[in-house]
Amino acid sequence: MRALDLKLVRDLRRLWAQALAVALVLACGVATLILAIGAYRSLEETQRAYYDRYRFGDVFASATRAPRALIDRIRAIPDVAAVELRITEPVLLDINGVAEPATGQAISLPDRGEPAVNAIFLRQGRLPDTGRDLEVVINENFAEAHGFVLGTEFHALMDGVKTKLRVVGIALSPEFIYALGPGDLLPDDRRFGVLWMNERTLAGRFDLEGAFDSVSLRLLRGANEEAVIEQLDDILAPYGGTGAYGRKDHISHAFLDSELTQLSAMARVIPPIFLLVSAFLINMILSRLIALEREQIGLLKALGYHALDIAWHYLKLVIMIALVGVVIGFVAGTWLGRGLTVIYSEFYTFPFLIFRWSTDIYAIAALVSIAAAIAGAAKAVYGVLALAPAVAMRPPAPPVFHQFMGSAGRRIRLFSQLTIMALRHIARWPVRAALSTIGTSFSVALLVVALFSIDSVDYMIDVIYFQSERQDATLTFAGERAPSVLPAVANLPGVLRAEPFRELAVKISHGPRERRLGISGKQRGADLSRVLDLDMRPIALPETGLAIGERVADILEVKRGDLVQVELLEGDRRIVDVPVTEIIQSYVGLAVFMDMDALDRLAGIGPRVSGVHLEIDEAATDALYASVKETPALAGVALQTVSRRLFQETIEQNILISTMVYVILSVIIAFGVVYNSARIQLSERARELATLRVLGFRRAEVSQVLLTELGVAVAAAQPLGWLIGYGFAYAVIVGFESDLFRIPLVVSSRTLAFASLVVLVAALVSALLVRRRIDRFDLVEVLKTRE
Amino acid sequence: MGKPLFTVSGLTKVYQTGDVTVHALRGVDAVLYEGEMAVLLGPSGSGKSTLLNILGGLDSATAGEVRFGEEDLTGFSDRELTLFRRNHVGFVFQFYNLVPSLTAKENVALVTEIAPRPMAPEEALGIVGLSERVDHFPAQLSGGEQQRVAIARAIAKRPEILLCDEPTGALDSKTGVLVLEALTAVNSEMGTSTAIITHNAAIQKIAHRVFFFSDGRIAEMRENAERVEPAEVEW
Residue B29 lies in a domain: no
Mean pLDDT, residues A497-520 = 91
Q: List Cα–Cα distances, A331 to A138, A324, A334, in angstroms.
A: 40, 11, 5
Q: What is the phi/psi pair of residue A500, to 5°? A: -75, 160
A447 touches A663 (CB < 8 A): yes
For A10, the 3-state DSSP assignment is helix
Closest partner residue to B139 among A398, A407, A425, by Cβ?
A398
A725 touches A447 (CB < 8 A): yes
Burial per residue of A633-653, b for 16 or more beta-carbon CB atoms within 10 angstroms, e otherwise = bbbbbbbbebbbebbeebbee
The CA distance from B206 to B230, in Å, is 6
Distance from CA of A430 to the nearest CA of B (A): 14
The CA distance from A206 to A504, in Å, is 23
Distance from CA of B1 to the nearest CA of A (A): 28
Q: Cα A342–A343–A345 angle (5° rounding)?
A: 60
The CA distance from A539 to B100, in Å, is 69
Indicate the DSSP class of residue A237. Answer: G
pLDDT of A86: 95
Cβ contact, residue pair B109, A780, below 8 Å: no
Cβ contact, residue pair B101, A428, below 8 Å: yes
The CA distance from A569 to A698, in Å, is 82
For B70, the 3-state DSSP assignment is coil
State which residue of chain B sits closest to A429, comparing Cα positions.
B101
Q: Per residue in A517-533, pLDDT tens?
A: 889 999 988 899 999 99
DSSP for A475-524 reads EEEEEEE-GGGHHHHHTSTTEEEEEEEEEEEEEEEETTEEEEEEEEEE-T
Mean pLDDT, residues A130-134 = 74
Residue B8 lies in a domain: no
Mean pLDDT, residues A384-392 = 76
A181 touches A191 (CB < 8 A): yes
Closest partner residue to A698 among B82, B97, B100, by Cβ?
B82
Cβ contact, residue pair A401, B137, below 8 Å: yes
pLDDT of A682: 85
Burial per residue of B10-32, b for 16 or more beta-carbon CB atoms within 10 angstroms, e otherwise = ebebeeeeeeeeeebbeebebbb
Closest partner residue to B85 among A399, A418, A696, by Cβ?
A696
For A718, the 3-state DSSP assignment is helix
pLDDT of A597: 93
A1 — pLDDT class (breaks 50, 70, 90) = low
Mean pLDDT, residues A299-310 = 80
Q: Per residue in A627-664, pLDDT tens?
A: 888 777 777 788 888 888 887 887 777 777 777 888 88
For A436, the 3-state DSSP assignment is helix
pLDDT of A786: 60
Closest partner residue to A695 among B49, B110, B138, by Cβ?
B110
Q: Per residue in A151-179, pLDDT tens?
A: 999 999 887 788 899 999 999 999 998 88
Comparing C-alpha atoms, which of A380, A390, A394, A397 is closest to residue A310?
A: A380
Cβ contact, residue pair B97, A398, below 8 Å: no
The CA distance from A126 to A135, in Å, is 10
Distance from CA of B58 to the nearest CA of A (A): 7
Neighbouring CB atoms inside 10 A of B189's CB total 10
Q: Per residue in B124-134, pLDDT tens?
A: 999 888 999 99
pLDDT of A410: 55
Q: Cα A108–A114–A116 angle (5° rounding)?
A: 85
| Model confidence at A784: pLDDT above 70 | no
Distance from CA of B111 to the nearest CA of A (A): 7
For the purposes of burial, counting CB atoms within 10 Å of the CB of A292, is it exposed (0-12), middle (13-18) or buried (19 or more)? exposed
Task: Tally A–B CB contacts below 8 A.
Answer: 90
Bridge pairing between strands B209-214 and B217-223? antiparallel
Residues in chain B within 8 Å Cβ distance of A410: 135
The CA distance from B56 to B67, in Å, is 12
Q: List Cα–Cα distances, A641 to A35, A615, A645, A686, in angstroms.
A: 36, 12, 6, 63
Mean pLDDT, residues A504-527 = 90
Q: One-letter amino acid identity for A343?
A: I
pLDDT of B65: 94
Q: List Cα–Cα distances, A552 to A515, A549, A555, A608, B229, in angstroms.
A: 8, 5, 5, 25, 96
DSSP for A584-643 reads E--SBS--EEEEHHHHHHHH-S---EEEEEEEE-GGGHHHHHHHHHT-TTEEEEEEHHHH
The CA distance from A448 to A109, in Å, is 49
Helices vs strands, H then E, count in chain B: 6, 10
A450 — pLDDT class (breaks 50, 70, 90) = confident
Contacts of A701 (CB under 8 A, 6+ apart): A418, A692, B114
Closest partner residue to A399 among B58, B59, B100, by Cβ?
B100
The CA distance from A110 to A116, in Å, is 9
Cβ contact, residue pair A417, B102, below 8 Å: yes
Number of structural domains chain B divides into: 1
What residue ranges do the domains of chain A occupy? 58-251, 398-469+641-787, 495-616
pLDDT of A254: 86
Q: List Cα–Cα distances, A697 to A208, A398, A676, B83, B154, in angstroms.
A: 94, 25, 25, 8, 14
Cβ contact, residue pair A785, B53, below 8 Å: no
| Model confidence at A408: pLDDT above 70 | no
Residue B52 belongs to domain with CATH number: 3.40.50.300
pTM passes above 0.95? no
Q: Per residue in A274-283, pLDDT tens?
A: 888 888 888 8
Cβ contact, residue pair B106, A420, below 8 Å: yes
Residues of chain B with a CB closer than 8 angstroms to some CB in chain A? 49, 53, 56, 58-59, 79, 82-87, 89, 91, 93, 95, 97-103, 106-107, 109-111, 113-115, 135, 137-139, 153, 165, 170
Q: Per residue in A478-487, pLDDT tens?
A: 788 899 988 9
pLDDT of A363: 93
Q: What is the phi/psi pair of residue A640, to 5°? A: -65, -45
Strands in B161-165's sheet, in edge-to-edge order, are B89-92, B161-165, B193-198, B37-41, B209-214, B217-223
A566 touches A575 (CB < 8 A): yes
The CA distance from B81 to B65, in Å, is 15
Closest partner residue to A417 among B58, B83, B106, by Cβ?
B106
Kind plus residue range of the DSSP H or E element containing B9 = strand B4-17
Residues in chain A within 8 Å Cβ distance of B86: 695-697
Residue B136 lies in a domain: yes
Q: Per residue in A571-624, pLDDT tens?
A: 778 899 999 999 998 888 888 999 999 999 988 888 999 999 999 998 888 888
Range of the domain at B121: 35-59+78-232
The CA distance from A737 to A462, in Å, is 19
pLDDT of A228: 96
Closest partner residue to A398 among B59, B95, B100, by Cβ?
B100
Comparing C-alpha atoms, which of A757, A761, A673, A653 is closest to residue A713?
A: A673
Cβ contact, residue pair B102, A421, below 8 Å: yes
Higher pLDDT, A409 or A202: A202
Q: Which of A400, A413, A417, A684 to mutate to test the interface with B (most CBs of B within 10 A)?
A: A417
| Model confidence at A703: pLDDT above 90 | no
Q: Kindly report which listed range (A133-137, A228-232, B146-150) carries the lowest average pLDDT score.
A: A133-137
| Model confidence at A405: pLDDT above 70 | no
Q: Per residue in A328-374, pLDDT tens?
A: 999 999 898 888 888 777 777 788 888 877 888 899 999 999 999 99
ipTM: 0.80
Mean pLDDT of chain A: 87
For the purposes of burial, counting CB atoms within 10 Å of the CB of B3, is it exposed (0-12), middle (13-18) or buried (19 or more)? exposed
For A136, the 3-state DSSP assignment is strand
State which residue of chain A sits closest to B116, comparing Cα positions.
A696
Q: Which of B49, B99, B151 to mutate to test the interface with A (most CBs of A within 10 A)?
A: B99
pLDDT of A412: 57
Q: Cα A524–A526–A531 angle (5° rounding)?
A: 95
Is the alpha carbon torsion for A432, A434, A439, A440 positive or negative? Answer: positive
pLDDT of B28: 95
Q: How many CA atoms lie within 13 A of A580 on its CB side?
A: 24
Cβ contact, residue pair A424, B102, below 8 Å: yes
